[in-house]
Amino acid sequence: MEVKRGIPVSHGIAIAEAFVLDSEEAVIPRRQIRPEETDHEVQRVHDACAQAIKDTLEAKSVAARTIDEEFLAIFDSHVTMLQDKSLREDITRIIENEQATAEWAVQQVMHRFIKLWSTNEFLADRVGDLFDLQKKLLRSLLGKKRQGLNAPAARFVLIAHNLTPSQTVHLDRSKVIGFATDTGGRTSHTALLARALGIPAVVGAGDITAEVNIGDTVIVDGTSGVIVCRPDTDTLTSYETRVRNMRVRQAKLSLELKDVPPETQDGYRVELFANIEFPEEIPAAIEHGAEGVGLYRTEYLYVQKGHMPTEAEHFQEYKKAAELLAPRPLTIRTLDMGGDKLLEETGGTRESNPSLGCRSIRFCFEREDIFRTQLRAIMRASAFGNVRVLFPMISNAAELRKAHSILNEVMDTLKNERISFDPNVRVGIMVEVPSAAWIADILAKDTDFFSLGTNDLVQYSMAVDRGNERVANLYQPAHPAILRLLQHVIDTGRRTRVRVGMCGEMSGELSYTILLLGLGLKEFSVSPAVLPEVKEIIRQVTMSDARTIARQALAFEQVEDTIKFLSEKTREILPDFA
Amino acid sequence: MRVEKVVVLHNETGLHARPAMLLAQSAASFKSRVTIAKGEKRVDAKSIISLLTLGAAGGTELTITAEGADAETAMQTIANMITGDFESDDCPDKKKMPDGH
C-alpha cells in the first residue's frame, strides 16, 4: 500500500480499479514480474526490436516511392538504433534488476536518454527520434493487448500525467468515477471542470503515474488530496464506510433541506447561491437548494470553440441560463481569462507574467470589440430573466468607471436598435485585487454589489501561485491578513449599503462557514455539491455565536491555530466533518 | 592486440545521426571491441545511441581504442571516417540494407 498526496480539487471519494495514461498517452502496463518470467521478458524485448525493425524497413520502402533517397536515411538510423546492443543491454538490466516488465524497462531507458538529450543543445533536436523509437517499441510490445486496455468495461479511476479541459469534459462519467494527475493546479480549468462535473479529483500528485499500475485498486480522496494505491483491507473498509455514510448523509440533507431557508437558529437569513460553469448545471443547482447563481463563469465559451465566440453564441447560452434560473438572480462574470490563452485568436505578444498582466478586464479594455460583444449578449439575455453583471479584476476606480461607460454605451446602442433588455440590471465587481479591497468605500459609490473572489485575493495578498506545488501550502484563506481584509470589505459594504457576497472557494469550505457568517457575509455562492452542508451549518448555529466565534478566530496570530479552532467549532455542528 | 589513437572530428556538424549511424555500422563489422572517448567519457563505438549521447561537435578531439584480432584495420577505418568527411565515405554503405537481427 502506498499513500500519495496531491492538491485536492474536487470533493468526494472514488474507489475503483485504476486505468493509467502516461504523458504520451500510451497505456503503461503492469510493472512487476515474477523472477521466473525474466527470461521471457528479455526475449520479448528482442522480438519487439525485430518487429520494429521490420516495420521501419516496410515504412522505408513505402516512403521510397515518393521521397528522395537522401531523406530515407532517417529510417536507416532508426533501424540502427533498434539494433543497438547497448540499448538492449540497458533494457535487459532493468528487467533483471527491477523485476520489471519489458514495457516498463523500455520506458525507463528511453526516458533517461530523452532527459539526457534534451539538455544537450546539440542533441535536443533529435529527441523526437527517441520518442519515435519508444513508440515503435511499445507498439510492438503491446500489440493486440493495447486494444483491449483502451476500453475498460467497468467503472474505473483514471490516473494520468495530465488532463486537458476538453479531455475532462469528454470523460464518460458513467465509467470514470474519479481521477488523479501528476501535474496541474487548483485553479486550472481542469480542476474547475472536475468540480462542475462532480467527479472527485486530485491534481499535482507528482509521479502518481509511476506509482500506480493498471488494475490496482486506488482510492482518490478529492476532499483531502490523498491517493491510496493498493489499500490494505483495513484502509479499504474504512474508506468504503466513509463513502457509504457520505452518500446517506448527502441524500438526507438534500431531501430535508431542499426547501428550507438558510437561516440561523436566531432568525438571521443569508442567501445561498451556486457557482456554475455551464447553463446545464442550473437544474441540479436548484435541486441542491440554490437561490441564485453568484458566479457564472463564461470562459468556457472562449476555450471550447477554437474561435472567438460570436454575439449569437454568447446570447444563446446566457438566455438559456437566465430562463432556467428565473426569477432567481444570474450573475454573469465577464471574460476573466489570461490574454495568453486567447493569443492565437488575437495575435498578441507573449507576456512574461500573464497573471499580473493584460488579462481579464484589462484585456477587455484593450479589445473593446470582444468586450462589447459579450456585454451586448448579456444585456440581451437580461430580458429573459434576472441578470446581474460582474466585472472581474477591478483594481481602481477609473477602471470601474470605464467599464460602466462601455456598458452604458452598449445599452444605448441596444435601445436605438430597439432590442429589449433590463435597464435595471445590477452591476457589481469581483473584489479580488487587494487594492480594490482597500478602497471598497470608494468603489462602493459606483457598484451595486461586491463579490469576494478569495481565490485570487489570497494569491495576490500572500504572493502565492496556488498551482505551484512548491509554495501551495502558503495559500491560506484563514490567514489573519486575509481575515482582516475580509472583515474590512464586509464592514465597508454594511456601511455603504452595498451587498457583499463571496464566490471564491472559501465560501464553500465548511470550516469557514461559521466564521464568514459571523463576519456578516450575506451571500454565499458555492459549488452545488456542498450547498446542503453549508446550509446545514448555517441552520444549526446562532448569529450571536457565529459573531463570537468570528471575533475569536480573528484574534489568533498563527493561521494553524485559527484553522484548528474553526475545525473544532465546525465538528461540534457536523460530527462527521473530517 | 590493442591500439589507440587520438583524432580530431572533421565533420562540421559533429557526430550527429547520420555519421553516428555510419560509424556504428562500420565498427560493428569488425571483430574487435572498439571504443571512442571524448575526454573522460568512453562509449562503445558499435552503439549508435551511445555515440550520439557523446554529443561530439566538429573539431572535438576523440580517442579511438580498438582491441582484438583486427584491431589495426578497425582503427584505421574508423579514424579515416572521423577525420575525413563521413559523407564521401558512405558510398559503399548507402545501398546496403541492414539486416534485421
**By CA distance, what is B47's nearest residue in A?**
A84
- B92: contact with A, CB 8 A cutoff: no
Q: How many residues does chain B have?
A: 101
Q: Which of A11, A161, A189, A314 is catalytic?
A: A189
Residue A228 and residue A226: Cα distance in Å, rounded?
6
Cβ–Cβ below 8 Å for A77 and B48: yes
- What sign does the CA torsion over A6, A8, A14, A19 have? negative
Closest listed residue to residue A113, CA positions, set B51, B14, B34: B51
Q: Which three cell numbers stand for residue A144?
A: 493486440
**Average pLDDT of the residues of chain A:** 87
pTM for the model: 0.61
Residue A86 and residue A90: Cα distance in Å, rounded?
6
Question: What is the model's pLDDT at position A300?
Answer: 81
**By CA distance, what is A85's nearest residue in B?**
B47
- A123: contact with B, CB 8 A cutoff: yes
The arrangement of strands across the sheet holding A201-203 comes to A2-5, A226-229, A217-221, A13-21, A156-160, A176-181, A201-203, A7-10
Please give the distance of CA A319 from its chain centroid, rounded to a whole number: 26
Q: Which three cell numbers stand for residue A427?
A: 452591476
Q: pLDDT tens for residues A121-173?
A: 667 667 767 777 887 788 788 764 443 334 566 889 999 887 766 566 566 77
Which of B15, B34, B42, B52 is the best mutation test for A, with the most CBs of A within 10 A? B52
DSSP codes joined into one string, A365-426:
HHTHHHHHHHHHHHHHHGGGSEEEEEE----SHHHHHHHHHHHHHHHHHHHHTT----TT-E
- A80: contact with B, CB 8 A cutoff: yes
Residue A445 and residue A5: Cα distance in Å, rounded?
46
Higher pLDDT, A75 or A340: A75
Cβ–Cβ below 8 Å for A117 and B52: yes
- B50: contact with A, CB 8 A cutoff: yes
pLDDT above 70 for A36: yes
Which residues in A lie closer than 8 A to residue B23 (C-beta atoms)? Answer: none
Beta bridge partners of A226: A5, A221
The minimum CA-CA distance between B3 and chain A, rounded to whole Å, is: 22
Beta bridge partners of A449: A428, A499
What domains appear along chain A, each with residue ranges and CATH number?
2-27+148-245 (3.50.30.10), 35-146 (1.10.274.10), 258-573 (3.20.20.60)
Question: What is the model's pLDDT at position A435?
Answer: 97
Q: Mean per-residue pLDDT for A387-416?
A: 97
Question: What is the model's pLDDT at position A504?
Answer: 92
Question: What is the model's pLDDT at position B101?
Answer: 39
Question: What is the model's pLDDT at position A385?
Answer: 96
Question: What is the model's pLDDT at position A145?
Answer: 46
Question: What is the model's pLDDT at position A306?
Answer: 61
pLDDT above 80 for A41: yes
The ipTM value here is: 0.74
b/e map of B19-50 (b: 16 or more CB within 10 Å)? Answer: bbbbbbbbbbebebbbbbbbeeeebbbbbbbb
The minimum CA-CA distance between B45 and chain A, rounded to whole Å, is: 10
Q: pLDDT tens for residues A293-312?
A: 999 999 888 876 567 889 99
Residue B9 and residue B6: Cα distance in Å, rounded?
10
- A127: contact with B, CB 8 A cutoff: no
Q: Which of B10, B16, B33, B42 is catalytic?
A: B16
Which residues in B lie closer than 8 A to residue A123 (C-beta atoms)? Answer: 52-53, 55
Confidence of residue A473 (pLDDT cuts 50, 70, 90): confident
Residue by residue, pLDDT tens for chain B (101 residues) are 888 888 888 877 777 778 888 899 999 999 999 999 998 889 999 999 899 888 888 888 999 999 999 999 999 999 988 888 665 444 444 333 444 43
Q: pLDDT tens for residues A342-366?
A: 655 555 567 788 888 889 999 999 9
A49 is catalytic: no
Nearest to A122 among B14, B46, B101 (CB): B14
Q: Are A424 and A383 in contact (CB under 8 A)?
A: no
The minimum CA-CA distance between A81 and chain B, rounded to whole Å, is: 6
Q: pLDDT tens for residues A209-218?
A: 878 877 889 9
Cβ–Cβ below 8 Å for A73 and B16: no
Element (H, E) at A86: helix A85-98
Cβ–Cβ below 8 Å for A74 and B17: yes
Lowest-confidence region among A192-201, A375-384, B58-67: A192-201
The minimum CA-CA distance between A182 and chain B, rounded to whole Å, is: 28
Q: Which three cell numbers stand for residue A517?
A: 457568517
Q: Which three cell numbers stand for residue A201?
A: 479529483
Q: Which fold has domain B2-92?
A: Histidine-containing Protein; Chain: A; (3.30.1340)
Which residues in A lie closer than 8 A to residue B16 (C-beta atoms)? Answer: 122, 126
Q: pLDDT tens for residues A248-273?
A: 877 777 778 888 999 999 999 999 99
